Structure 1
Amino acid sequence: MPAPTVTGMTKSPHPPLSYADTTTAVPGDWARRTAGPRPLIVKTGGDAHESGPEQWRLDPGRVSRPGDHDAEEVLAGFWPDEDEVAEDPEWYAEVLAPFGPGWPGLAPAGVLDADPDARAAEVADSLLADGHWRTWLKDPRLALVPTGRSADVPAAIGWTGPVHHERDVARLCAVLRSWEDRFGIRVVALSYDMLVVSVAAPPRTRAQAEAIAVEHYAFCPGVVQGGESLGGYAEEELLGKSIWAFWWD
């Protein structure tokens, strides 16, 4: 089916990001974007900085290139070392279980159970239709980002959501590129400080999920909260799941 004509395009103050139309996004909108810029669901409702991209601190001029970074080096640099663990060994023993200090390495590639772009469309529809997600994704709009890879979307718009964890989002996009290659992820939705990706090769065993949980914790430590362990996170949030969500304070 040919791509529909884009009408009512409204430029944001940030040239890398534009709205596809002037209406709230609904299920089916993503799938209709069959060519051209990368689609992205953005949250536009909320108070102050939590509302739309016009209020986000987008800064594409201060971002490096994702291809200049190695995903494993980025993740290994965030993993707690022995000195950090020694500061609170009981807490880290609980949180990092079944792992410990010392980078465990990247998870092996998964096996696709869907076309990555088709899975992204499915996940986009579920975000727009599901009441649980809509409590977070207030007033969603479909945005368009001119970039060749979905994994590069945050860097292309200069997204600063993870600034308290990593100031150069291109380094995290290097990880997203690796996940794109190994797990068929696509960047589907952004808010001021939250990122949601679709997954076309979700882990099917506890061991696979735990290996991926290692990368998630390095990428975004907030995924493990309230004394939860990596093993518990893997079982509850990753095993067989086609949506991965990350948020930074």
Structure 2
Amino acid sequence: MIDLPPTVPLFTTPSGVEVVGFPAAGDDALRWWERLRAEYPASGLWPLLMEEDTPEYLADSYTYATVDESLAQAYALDGSKLLVPDFVDEGEWPSEPERPGFGLPYFRSGQPAQVTVALVPAAEPWLVPVVLHYGGWNKYPSPGEHAAIMRYWQERYGAELVVLTGTTVEYAVARPPLTRPDALALAGRYRAYNDGEYDLYGAEHLTDLAAGLLGAQVWRMWWD
């Protein structure tokens, strides 16, 4: 067992489970995520890096489905089929694509920023959106849809949720695409997944985005 810093209650899930957490910043926050991720099979607690105001987004549900209905959706839906890809190859392959790392535990200047390390009880890591009953506003996937998509990302690419805020998610990726055709296929689904499209990769077209995703061990997405 890991000796944790003192934890405090953060919020209670719609199913009545209390989520606790503690503050950390920058590289230290990511190291805590890695240690707690390694403990997950025994603890059943999935670590998430959150902004301080993220629990406010959890206070009001934007989905009309119940937790049980979202859970059933998560297991029934095929996440890959929820992402209608755009495989159009636009533009030339860039020589120096942007491949951003994790954003949340840092300020835009690159300096460490304090965040909350939350411990979320979840039977599977991809079920976190259902456990938190999180999503369904603007173009954000509903909890059940988001969980099914996360299952697809995990099975296909070894992508695991690290950061969750009111507008963003960030993943650690164990098996990113290693060829240009595979990266282009991912880029089409990436663009279907989040309405931020190319913004976080400084890209102007799908090929730019694919180049940024090629071999990338961190993915960042956002919704307006």
> What TM bracket, shorter-length normalisation?
0.7 to 0.9
Report the TM-score when normalising by structure 2: 0.73
SS in 2 for 1:20: strand
Is structure 2 residue 195 aligned with structure 1 residue 221?
yes
Alpha-carbon offset, residue 231 of structure 1: 1.3
Partner of 1:154: 129
The runs of 5 or more residues in structure 2 that have no matched partner are 91-100
Report the TM-score when normalising by structure 1: 0.67
SS in 2 for 1:165: coil
Is structure 2 residue 72 aligned with structure 1 residue 97?
no
Q: Which residue identity lines up with residue 208 of structure 2 in the other structure? A: G
Alignment of 1:188-199 (within 5 A): 188-199=162-173
Contact residue 206 and residue 239 of structure 1 kept, 8 A: yes
Contact residue 10 and residue 55 of structure 2 kept, 8 A: no
SS in 1 for 2:34: coil
The 1:211–1:17 alpha-carbon spacing in structure 2 relative to 1, beyond 3 Å, is: farther
Alpha-carbon offset, residue 42 of structure 1: 0.6
Contact residue 104 and residue 115 of structure 2 kept, 8 A: no
The 1:238–1:167 alpha-carbon spacing in structure 2 relative to 1, beyond 3 Å, is: closer
Is structure 2 residue 215 aligned with structure 1 residue 240?
yes
Contact residue 58 and residue 159 of structure 1 kept, 8 A: no
C-alpha distance in structure 2 between counterparts of 1:168 and 1:149, whole Å: 17
Is structure 2 residue 184 aligned with structure 1 residue 185?
no
The 1:17–1:189 alpha-carbon spacing in structure 2 relative to 1, beyond 3 Å, is: farther
Max Rg structure: 1
Runs ≥4 residues deviating over 6 A? none
Identity fraction in percent: 24
Partner of 1:43: 51
C-alpha distance in structure 2 between counterparts of 1:246 and 1:218, whole Å: 11
Q: Which residue identity lines up with residue 20 of structure 1 in the other structure? A: G
Alignment of 1:1-249 (within 5 A): 2-4=1-3, 7-14=6-13, 15-16=16-17, 18-21=19-22, 23-25=23-25, 26-27=28-29, 28-33=31-36, 34=39, 35-36=42-43, 37-44=45-52, 51-59=53-61, 62-63=66-67, 64-65=70-71, 66-76=74-84, 97-98=88-89, 128=105, 131-132=107-108, 138-160=113-135, 163-166=137-140, 168-225=142-199, 228-235=204-211, 237-249=212-224
The runs of 5 or more residues in structure 1 that have no matched partner are 45-50, 81-95, 100-122
SS in 2 for 1:154: helix
SS in 2 for 1:24: strand
Measured on the aligned residues, the alpha-carbon RMSD in Å equals 3.0
The 1:247–1:231 alpha-carbon spacing in structure 2 relative to 1, beyond 3 Å, is: same
C-alpha distance in structure 1 between counterparts of 2:151 and 2:118, whole Å: 20
The 1:219–1:55 alpha-carbon spacing in structure 2 relative to 1, beyond 3 Å, is: closer
The 1:155–1:9 alpha-carbon spacing in structure 2 relative to 1, beyond 3 Å, is: same
Q: Deviations over 1:46-71 (max 9, x none)?
A: xxxxx231354553863512112112
Q: Which residue identity lines up with residue 163 of structure 1 in the other structure? A: W
SS in 1 for 2:49: strand
Alpha-carbon offset, residue 16 of structure 1: 4.5
Alpha-carbon offset, residue 200 of structure 1: 0.3
Q: Which residue identity lines up with residue 9 of structure 1 in the other structure? A: V
